[in-house]
A and B are shown apart, each in its own frame.
Chain A
Amino acid sequence: MAALRVLVGVKRVIDFAVKVRVAPGGAAVQTQGVKHSLNPFCEIALEEAVRLREAGAATEVVVATLGTKASQETLRTALAMGADRAVLAELAEGAAAGPREVAVALAALARRLQPQLVLLGKQAIDDDCNQTGQILAAILDWPQGTFASRVSLEPGAVQVQREVDGGLETLRLRLPAVLTADLRLNEPRYATLPNIMKAKKKPLEVVPAADLGVPAGPPRLRLLQLQEPPPRAGGEKVESVESLLGKLRHAGRI
C-alpha cells in the first residue's frame, strides 16, 4: 500500500498527579526535581497513530518534540508505546518555547518528512494553550480537525468527528491534514515490558531547534505571573431555602 506516514507531536509536562508549586518569583512553576511525563492528550494522539499503523491504514509513525535534552526520555516512552522513530528538536538548557515555536519546528519537520497526517494532543496540561495544532495548520496551510473524538482514514482524506460546544461535528478533510486529539478519542495502552526494552533500539534523531527555523530568544507568549488560588474559605450551613436565598442575595450572588 502507499506509504502513509503519521507525524505525532508530543510534549514533556509535569506529571498530572504532582502537586504543583509556584517557584519563588511568581513567574514560573517549580520544575526542578519534579516528576515529568508525556502529556496525556499527546499520549492519546500517539495511541491513535499507532492504532492506524496496526490497522494497516498507516505505514510509519514518527514522534517528535521540541524540548531540552530531558525530553529524550519522553520520546523513549513514546517509542515504547509503539512509535517507529523519534526526532528531538533540541533547545538549549533553560530555553523556553511556546505554541508558536513548537508549530514552527513541527512545520519544518513536516516539510522534511512529508507525513500525510499530523496528530497532536489538543492542549498541554501545563499551559492549556490549545493553540499549537491550529497555528501549525495555518503555517502549513493544511486543513485542521481539532478536538477529534473519532478518526477514520479514507483514500486521500480523513473523516474526523469533533467534540464541539453544541455536540458532535463530523468533517471530511483532504490529506495532508492536522488533527488534535481530545479525551474520548481512545484509551492509551500501557507500554508492555518487551516494548520498553525494544524502544532502546529504535532510532532517535536529535536536530538543533535553530536548524528547523525556531527563532532564538524568548517565546512569543510571555508568562507574567502565577498565583496559587486563595485558600478555601469556610462554608456556612443554613436552616431553610428562604435563608439560603437571603444569604445569596445579601452576598450579591443573585
Chain B
Amino acid sequence: MAAAAVAGARLRGCAKQLRRHMPAHLAPWRVSPCVFRSSKSELKPNVASDGLVYAPLQTFTEEEAMLKDMVTKFAQERVAPFVQKMDENAKMEESIVQGLFEQGLMSIELGEEYGGTGASFFSIILAVEELAKVDPAVALVCELQNTLTNKLFTTYGTEEQKRTYLPRVSKDTLGSFCLSEAGSGSDAFSLKTRAEKKGDYYIINGSKMWISLAEDAGVFFVMANTNPSSGYRGITCFVVDRNTEGLHVGKKEDKLGIRACSTCPVTFDNVKVPESNILGQVGQGYKYAIGMLNTGRIGIAAQMLGLAQGCFDRTIPYTKERVQFGKSVFDFQVATLTTSKCIEWMGGVGFTKNYPIEKYYRDCKIGTIYEGTSNIQLSTIAKFLAQEY
C-alpha cells in the first residue's frame, strides 16, 4: 500500500534525523537519563515466583521484572551516553563490556558453579531486548555471549572444557563464533577451512569472514572440516584461544550499522589445536551450528524488537513537538499512518507489550481497512498515543 510505504519512509526519515541532525528539543537523547516513557505501566510482576509455567508471555516473575529494571537503568545510564560515539568510531566502549560482565549479564543462564546466575532463557531475551532499545550493537554482544558462546559450552562441552572456559566467559572473556567464509555464507557447509589430524592434535588452515566480536574476543569457536571427502559430515567445532600461534584477526569491516560491534576476517595459518579442544564430537559441527543458530535467532528477534521499540519511543515525542503549519506533525494523517506502521512492527513479533493500542490494533487488523473507517480507527489510536507520551 502506498500509504504504508510513505509511513515507513517517514519513520525512517524521523529515525535518521534523530541520529544525524539532533534537533534541539531532542538533545537530551544524548544525555542520560532518557525520559522517553509512556505513562502506562510496564507489566505488573506476577508475585508468585515459584517457577510455575505462566500462560501469557507477558507475565514476568518478580526476578524477571527486577532484571528488566536493572538492564533498563544500565542501558540508559551507562550505555546511552556512548551510543553516538561508539557508532561514529565503530568501537565498543570498554566500560560497557566490563559493565555487562559485572552485572552478570554475560552469564545469565550459566550455573552458579561457573560464575553464572542460573536464570532462564527468557531472562536473556529480556536483557537483550532492553539493551537493544538503547543500542542494538551492545545488545548483540550480550546476545552472542549468552545464546551462542555459553550455550555451545554448556550443551556440548566436556566437564574439563566447562571448568576451563565457563568461569572465563562469565568473568571477562568474549567468545566469537567462526563459521562463515568468503565462499560460504548461507551455504555454510561448503566451508573450506581444513583441520588435519596429526597424532593428538590438529592443524587448522583457512580463513573466515564476517566474524562478529573477533576484535575483542578471547576465545574462538572454529568450524573446520577434518574430512573434506565426507562433505559437511567432516565439519568439526574447535575451541581456539586467541593467543594461539597462527591465529590472525584481520582489520574490521567498515559497516553501515551495528558498527560498535566488530566484524573481522580471521585467518588460521597452521594453527595447532589439541584434540581435547574439540567441542563435542568430530564431524558433528554442522549439527551444532544449526542447533545454536536456531536459538540465536530468537535472541536476534528480541534485539530487533527492542530496536523498533527504542526507535518508536524516540519518534513519538518528536512528532508531537515538531510543528508545521501550526499543527504538530503528530496530528497529521501521515503521523497517524506512521503509528499504524509501528503498531504493525510491535504486533509482528511475539513479545507485545500491554499498550491499549494493542487491543485496537487487533480489532482493526481483522478484516480489510479502507478509507472511512481506517481514518477513525487510526485517529483514535493516535489520540491514545498522544496521551501516553
Interface of A toward B, CB cutoff 8 Å: 15, 17-21, 30, 33-35, 37, 69, 72-73, 76-77, 80, 190-194, 196-197, 199-200
Return B310 CB to nearest CB of chain A, in Å: 15
The residues of A that contact B63 with a CB separation of less than 8 Å are 196-197, 199-200
Could you tell me if A197 and B41 are in contact, using CB atoms closer than 8 angstroms? no
Q: Which of B22-30, B99-107, B157-165, B239-247 contacts A (4 or more CB under 8 A)?
A: B99-107
Could you tell me if A73 and B45 are in contact, using CB atoms closer than 8 angstroms? yes
With contact pairs A73-B45, A197-B117 given, residues A18 and B37 touching in the complex (Cβ less than 8 Å): yes
Could you tell me if A33 and B66 are in contact, using CB atoms closer than 8 angstroms? no
**Chain A, Cβ-Cβ closest to B40:** A33
Q: Which of B10-18, B69-77, B147-155 contacts A (4 or more CB under 8 A)?
A: B69-77
1/0 contact string of B20-51 vs chain A (CB within 8 Å)? 00000000000001010111111011010100
**Chain B, Cβ-Cβ closest to A31:** B41
Contact of B66 among A19, A69, A76 (CB under 8 A): A76
Return B66 CB to nearest CB of chain A, in Å: 5
User: B108 at interface (Cβ–Cβ under 8 A)?
Assistant: yes
Could you tell me if A199 and B39 are in contact, using CB atoms closer than 8 angstroms? no
Contact of A196 among B38, B44, B67 (CB under 8 A): B67
Return B82 CB to nearest CB of chain A, in Å: 16
With contact pairs A76-B62, A199-B66 given, residues A17 and B35 touching in the complex (Cβ less than 8 Å): yes
Chain B: interface size category: 20 to 34
Q: How many angstroms between the C-alpha atoms of A202 and B69 in the bound complex?
A: 20
The residues of A that contact B389 with a CB separation of less than 8 Å are 19
User: B334 at interface (Cβ–Cβ under 8 A)?
Assistant: no
The list of the 5 closest CB pairs from A to B, nearest first, reads: A193-B104, A19-B39, A17-B37, A193-B117, A33-B41
User: B282 at interface (Cβ–Cβ under 8 A)?
Assistant: no
Q: How many angstroms between the C-alpha atoms of A69 and B45 in the bound complex?
A: 12
User: B118 at interface (Cβ–Cβ under 8 A)?
Assistant: yes
**Chain A, Cβ-Cβ closest to B50:** A200
User: B119 at interface (Cβ–Cβ under 8 A)?
Assistant: yes
Count: A-B pairs, CB below 8 Å: 71
**Chain A, Cβ-Cβ closest to B44:** A33
Could you tell me if A192 and B102 are in contact, using CB atoms closer than 8 angstroms? yes
Return A87 CB to nearest CB of chain B, in Å: 17
Chain A binding surface SS class: loop
**Chain A, Cβ-Cβ closest to B77:** A190
User: B65 at interface (Cβ–Cβ under 8 A)?
Assistant: yes
Contact of A19 among B37, B45, B73 (CB under 8 A): B37
Q: How many angstroms between the C-alpha atoms of A51 and B74 in the bound complex?
A: 20
Could you tell me if B41 and A34 are in contact, using CB atoms closer than 8 angstroms? yes
The residues of B that contact A190 with a CB separation of less than 8 Å are 70, 73-74, 103
Contact of B104 among A18, A35, A192 (CB under 8 A): A192
Could you tell me if B66 and A196 are in contact, using CB atoms closer than 8 angstroms? yes
Contact of A194 among B33, B37, B117, B388 (CB under 8 A): B117
Return A240 CB to nearest CB of chain B, in Å: 25
Q: How many angstroms between the C-alpha atoms of A80 and B37 in the bound complex?
A: 24
Could you tell me if A193 and B103 are in contact, using CB atoms closer than 8 angstroms? yes
Could you tell me if B105 and A193 are in contact, using CB atoms closer than 8 angstroms? yes
Could you tell me if B41 and A37 are in contact, using CB atoms closer than 8 angstroms? no
Could you tell me if B69 and A20 are in contact, using CB atoms closer than 8 angstroms? no
Q: How many angstroms between the C-alpha atoms of A34 and B40 in the bound complex?
A: 5
Q: How many angstroms between the C-alpha atoms of A190 and B104 in the bound complex?
A: 11
Could you tell me if A37 and B69 are in contact, using CB atoms closer than 8 angstroms? yes
Q: How many angstroms between the C-alpha atoms of A199 and B389 in the bound complex?
A: 34
Q: How many angstroms between the C-alpha atoms of A131 and B119 in the bound complex?
A: 41
Return A6 CB to nearest CB of chain B, in Å: 22
**Chain A, Cβ-Cβ closest to B117:** A193
**Chain B, Cβ-Cβ closest to A36:** B41
The residues of B that contact A30 with a CB separation of less than 8 Å are 39
Could you tell me if B70 and A196 are in contact, using CB atoms closer than 8 angstroms? yes
The residues of B that contact A191 with a CB separation of less than 8 Å are 66, 70
Known A15-B37, A191-B66, A192-B70; further 13 A-B contacts with Cβ < 8 A: A19-B388, A19-B389, A33-B41, A35-B37, A73-B45, A80-B66, A191-B70, A193-B104, A193-B108, A196-B67, A197-B117, A197-B119, A200-B63
Return B93 CB to nearest CB of chain A, in Å: 17
The residues of A that contact B42 with a CB separation of less than 8 Å are 35
Return B61 CB to nearest CB of chain A, in Å: 9
